[in-house]
Structures are given as C-alpha cells and as structure tokens.
C-alpha cells in the first residue's frame, strides 16, 4: 500500500520524503488546486526542486489540479496542466470533466488520478471517468462506510485510494457550496473553503466571536479553545439547542482500519493537510510509515500502538480523532 | 422560456405528495421533475407510485422528467437508479455521474441536474457527446458564467436555471436532521417527516442561515430571480425551475407564468413573492457575489 503525503511547500515535501512517504502530492500557486491558501504551494522553480528531491529518493510526485475552471479563467487550468506535463510528474489529480478531456487530448501519455473533488462515490461514476478519460486511480470522498469502500473496490475498474488521516470533510467533496454561499469563494471555484481573508475575530461581552464574512460561526467562553471558523465546524442553534449542528472539529484517523483497507485491495492511503506545517507532515508521515510497515509485515498481529495515537492526537484538529463515515453501520 | 417544477426536496407524506401533484396537473407549468433526490430511506411513494403520477401529469400535458439521487453509495441505490433509468418512457435527470454512466452507456438522453459539476463549455461539450439533452446551471455560478456557457453551448442542448427556491448547498453521509433530534442515522425514525419545510439552522445571534434537510443542507433564503426575467430571456435560457415548498408554490408558479405571458411586471411581482419567503430571499450567486446576499433590491 502506497503512503501518499501532503506537500504544501518545499520543506513539507522534504519532511514527507524523509519520513517515509511513497508519494507526495502538490499544487501550483493559484486557484487550480483545492488548497489555494496564501503562502502555500509551488511555483515552477520550487516544483522542479521538489520533484528532483523526491525522485532521487524513489518517491513519486502527483500534481493536484482539482478545482473547476469557468470559461473566463479556463486558460489558468490549461497552463497548470501544461506546466505539470513539462515537469514530468508521475500523475495528475483532476476533478473537472473539461480538464480531464483536455489532458486526454493534449497529453495522452500522462497518468491520471480522479480527485476526491470529483465526488465519485460509486463504481458507476468511476466507470464513467475510466471509460472516457482512462483514469488509473480514484480518491474516494470521506462519506463512505467501510463496507461501501469494500464494495467499490470489488467492482471498480480503477485502483482505489482513500483518506487515512487529517481534517475531515463531512460533506461530499466537490459538492459543498457552504463556503461560497457565505463568501463567494468555494473549493470548486476558488480552491479554498472558508478562506482566511473573510475571517474576523472579536472579543465581545458574550465571549470571543468568530465570523466569516459577517456570519457568526461560533462564540467561545474564556475556558474554551477557539478553532478555525470553517463553516461546517461551528456551533449553531437548531430548535432549542446550540451545538455543533453539522460537525465537531475533529480529525479523521483510520489507523485501526489499516488491515481491512489492505485486505480489500485499497492501493493507497492519503494523508490530508497541505495547509499544515512541515512538523505536522513529518510527524504524521512517520507514524503512518511505522503503522504501514507493521501491518504489511504481519497483518494478523497488527495492533495500533498507543505511541502512534498520542503522536497523532497532538497534531489533530481539535485534538480529537474519529473513524468518520467508515464506522457507519447504515448504508 | 418555459417553467419547470423541480423535484420535492423535503420528506413529505404520501398524502401530501399525492395531493400536491394532483394540483400541479392544473398549474401553468410545462415540465415536472418527479422522484426522490436526497435520501433513499424516504419511501412515501414507491417507484410505481411515482410512475402513476408521471402518467397522470403526462396526460395533463406536462413533460415529465424522473429525478434521481444526488448521493449514490449503496448497491440498493444503484439498483433503484437502474430501474428509473430503464423506465423506457420518461426522460431522466441525472444528479450524479453514476447515472450519466448508466444512461449514456445505453444511448439514452438525459438532463444533468444541479449537482453535476458543469462549470465550463468543454464539460458541456463532453457530456453532449454522451447524450446530454438539458443541463441545469450549478447554483454557485453567476450570470457572467452563464453568458459564456450560452455563447459556446452545443447545438440542441437546453439550459435550465433555478429561478425560485432554496439553494441545495451540500450533501453528506451524515443526517443532520436525525442529529438535531439526537437520533443515530441508522434509526432516524424518519424524523424528516416532521419538517416538511426542513429545519432552520440559525447562527448564535439568531440569524437564519441554513436549512437542514436530512443529508442535504439548503440555504435558509430562497433565491428569487423573477426580477431578472428579461436578462434570462436575453441569455436564451430555455427553462426556469421553481423548487417546491410546502405552501404557496402555486402562487409562485402563477407569478412567473403571469410575467412570462406579459400580464404582470416582473419587478413588482418579485417583491410580492418575498411574502412567500418569510426568512428573506437571496440572489448573490447570480451577481457573482456571496450566495447569501441580496442585491436586487439595493
């Protein structure tokens, strides 16, 4: 099983490579990728350095061009694809049908992965992308149960990659517009969710308030730790209750599911977090490398080590982890 | 421009659905989308029931389109989907690429619903080759984006725009309505039936923001594009969609129909319609702004 780790910049890429990643994924410095954050990502020069660093150490490099262009900005996505093709990356991670079509026509030799942003949650959808664009691998949205992942693995025409660790999208990726509803910018159109430029913090008599373009996402008492105001992770009022109405600020952690995922034929496990620090990337990559090695050496004796859990909890969002939808009994 | 009635997004009882569509047969509307698009656990009506309603509406002169689930995960959901796709009588609205795969493989035409991400002309072109007959503008796209799409639209493809109704904003594995009742999703007790207009989510300063509708999240404020009728006509939009709500859908349809027939002023009627949206309306996406904003009245 391949360990695919986030490379938000050159130091993170090196941290991933040095700590045991089999592959890293990166994006260019614009809205063509789903982590379009200030100060993040690669220009052409840095990308060349990163790819050189990874490849000389036997690590693959994937380029994410996984947002949705419109007629007015189409050329940016086309340029991103052309740059990536010239860099000799091992695969492109794509979501938009138009971009997939362009790559298939212009760069037919390139290996294509379907991004989680393409929202493919069933094998019929995967068959569509395989038939039309010859994708080799797909990353599944984080909404499927373990049984559903298994079912897809046994019916899919392409290899399957799943998320193993990191911030949790509770919505189907590629189909969540909450961010643009509040700010005008969404992962699909802009490559960012709840962008930092719209965030406002204010001390008030009611406590510390976080707002996103004026929308009150939460209010914190002195004793509470404030989290980033991602829209789906705020506290809201429904009926008489005030609570995390959509999702608690937790991280996904599937260490305990590793034997199952390997057994069902998942080919790669993805670590989320291109926006996180090189220290995060180093820590998470190191733990997952150890876990994967242990599991692959002896799957029946595999057991999650408490030292792994503790190390991951330190870097998890909200310092809590969950199995997310994987543990869901209901279909 | 023709008027269409979108699928009912909420969980209504069998009686409510049957009564509703009996009325719809007499409304000034050209096309009706039927079926469950949000949650496969909602079974007030069987596929056969839906087909009976489809026949009745068809006899009343309506074009009928069968809508399908936006989030397809389980094999049972794919089985239902295949049955709908193979109905051999009515056009199908695909709300996922899985449906497009099934329909296009058999050479069947289809409508691509608002959750199929058609953001650029090249995507439209690819899907046209796969049998696309009509597409619905993704709700976060603006009139500027639509203008570019219309200029490069392949011949024979119709364009539909959501003109009135709450905006579908997100889909999840989690049921937010069950969560709001402290029920696990696998024993949700079908509690969505208690909220035929969804459950309003307010921010902690009491501002209505979203509406929970099972696994779907909607905008609390419906979009209202009636005042933009002339622009929509100029952009050669073929169809305007009205999304059903538990009350006043008839009046909303009538207002659009009157304006289209030239019997009423769209600006004035647009203001009238706001009385059917007690939490307020929005139109930001249309103007390239945050979706929740309302610009027209300013």
Per-residue pLDDT tens digits for A184-218 = 999 999 999 999 999 999 999 999 999 999 999 99
Residues 14-43 of B with CB under 8 A from A: 40
Q: Which of B75, B176, B290 sits opposite A246 (nearest CB)?
A: B176
**Hey, is the C-beta of B129 within 8 angstroms of any chain A C-beta?**
no
> Looking at residues A106-112, what average pLDDT do you find?
98
Per-residue pLDDT tens digits for B240-292 = 999 999 999 999 999 999 999 999 999 999 999 999 999 999 999 999 999 99
CB contact under 8 A, B119 and A238: no
Please tell me the pTM assigned to this model: 0.96
Q: Set out the domains of chain B in order of their start, with CATH numbers.
A: 2-165+223-277 (3.20.20.70)
> Looking at residues A34-59, what average pLDDT do you find?
95
Per-residue pLDDT tens digits for B53-62 = 999 999 999 9
> Could you tell me which residues are beta bridge partners of residue A252?
A166, A322
Distance from the Cα of A245 to chain B's closest Cα (Å) equals 7
Per-residue pLDDT tens digits for B163-206 = 999 999 999 989 999 999 999 888 999 999 999 999 999 999 99
Q: Is the pLDDT of residue A328 over 70?
A: no
Residue B79 contacts by C-beta under 8 Å, 6 or more apart in sequence? none
> Looking at residues B15-25, what average pLDDT do you find?
98
Per-residue pLDDT tens digits for A170-179 = 999 999 999 9
What per-residue confidence (pLDDT) applies to A238? 97
Per-residue pLDDT tens digits for A52-103 = 999 999 999 999 999 999 999 999 999 999 999 999 999 999 999 999 999 9
> Looking at residues A143-160, what average pLDDT do you find?
95
Q: Is the pLDDT of residue A112 over 90?
A: yes
Residue A192 contacts by C-beta under 8 Å, 6 or more apart in sequence? A34, A35, A36, A37, A179, A185, A186
Q: Considering only CB atoms, which chain A residues are within 8 Å of B115?
A: 119, 175
Residues 220-279 of B with CB under 8 A from A: none
**Largest Cα–Cα distance in chain A?**
61
């Amino acid at each position: 099983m391949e360990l695919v780790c986030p490379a938000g910049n050159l130091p993170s890429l090196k941290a991933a490579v040095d700590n045991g990643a089999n592959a890293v994924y990166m994006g260019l410095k614009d809205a063509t990728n789903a982590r379009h954050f200030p100060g993040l990502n690669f220009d052409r020069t840095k990308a060349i350095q990163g790819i050189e660093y990874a490849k000389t150490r036997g690590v693959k490099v994937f380029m994410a061009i996984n947002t949705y262009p419109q007629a007015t900005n189409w050329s940016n996505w086309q340029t991103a694809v052309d740059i990536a093709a010239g860099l000799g990356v091992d695969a492109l991670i794509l979501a938009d049908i138009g971009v997939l079509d362009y790559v298939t026509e212009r760069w037919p030799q390139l290996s294509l992965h379907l991004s989680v942003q393409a929202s493919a949650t069933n094998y019929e959808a995967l068959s569509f992308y395989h038939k039309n664009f010859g994708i080799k691998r797909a990353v599944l949205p984080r909404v499927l149960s373990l049984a559903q992942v298994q079912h897809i693995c046994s019916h899919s025409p392409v290899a399957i990659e799943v998320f193993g660790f990191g911030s949790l999208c509770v919505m189907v990726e590629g189909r969540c517009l909450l961010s643009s509803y509040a700010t005008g910018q969404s992962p699909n159109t802009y490559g960012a969710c709840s962008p930092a430029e719209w965030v406002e913090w204010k001390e008030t008599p009611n406590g510390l308030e976080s707002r996103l373009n004026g929308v009150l996402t939460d209010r914190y008492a002195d004793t509470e730790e404030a989290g980033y105001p991602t829209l789906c992770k705020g506290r809201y009022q429904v009926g008489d209750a005030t609570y995390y109405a959509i999702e608690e600020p937790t991280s996904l952690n599937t260490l305990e599911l590793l034997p199952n995922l390997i057994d069902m034929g998942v080919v790669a496990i993805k670590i989320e977090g291109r926006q996180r620090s090189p220290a995060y990337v180093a820590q998470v990559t190191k733990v997952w490398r150890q876990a994967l090695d242990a599991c692959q050496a002896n799957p029946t004796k595999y057991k999650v080590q408490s030292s792994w859990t503790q190390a991951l909890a330190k870097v998890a969002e909200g310092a809590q982890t969950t199995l997310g939808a994987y543990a869901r009994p209901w279909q | 421009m023709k008027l269409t009635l979108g699928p009912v997004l909420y969980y209504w009882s069998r009686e409510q659905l049957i009564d509703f569509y009996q009325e719809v047969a007499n409304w000034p509307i050209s096309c009706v989308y039927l079926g469950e698009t949000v949650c496969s656990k909602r079974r007030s009506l069987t596929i056969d029931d839906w087909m009976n309603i489809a026949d009745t509406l068809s006899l009343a002169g309506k074009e009928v389109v069968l809508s399908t689930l936006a989030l397809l995960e389980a094999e049972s959901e794919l089985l239902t989907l295949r049955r709908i796709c193979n109905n051999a009588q009515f056009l199908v609205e695909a709300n996922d690429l899985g449906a497009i795969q099934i329909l296009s493989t058999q050479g069947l035409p289809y409508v691509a619903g608002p959750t199929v991400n058609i953001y650029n002309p090249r995507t439209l072109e690819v899907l046209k080759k796969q049998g696309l007959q009509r597409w619905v503008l993704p709700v976060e796209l603006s009139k500027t984006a639509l203008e570019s799409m219309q200029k490069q639209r392949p011949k024979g493809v119709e364009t539909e725009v959501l003109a009135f109704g709450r905006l579908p904003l997100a889909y999840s594995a989690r049921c937010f309505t069950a969560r709001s009742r402290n029920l696990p999703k696998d024993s949700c007790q079908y509690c969505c039936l208690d909220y035929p207009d969804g459950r309003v989510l307010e921010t902690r300063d009491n501002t209505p923001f979203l509406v929970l509708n099972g696994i779907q999240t909607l905008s609390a404020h419906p979009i209202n594009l009636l005042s933009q009728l002339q622009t929509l006509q100029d952009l050669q939009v073929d169809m305007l969609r009205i999304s059903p709500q538990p009350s006043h859908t008839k009046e909303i349809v009538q207002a659009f129909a009157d304006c289209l027939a030239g019997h009423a002023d769209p600006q004035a009627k647009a203001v009238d319609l706001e009385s059917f949206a007690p939490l307020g309306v929005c139109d930001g996406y249309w103007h390239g702004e945050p979706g929740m904003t309302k610009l027209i009245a300013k």
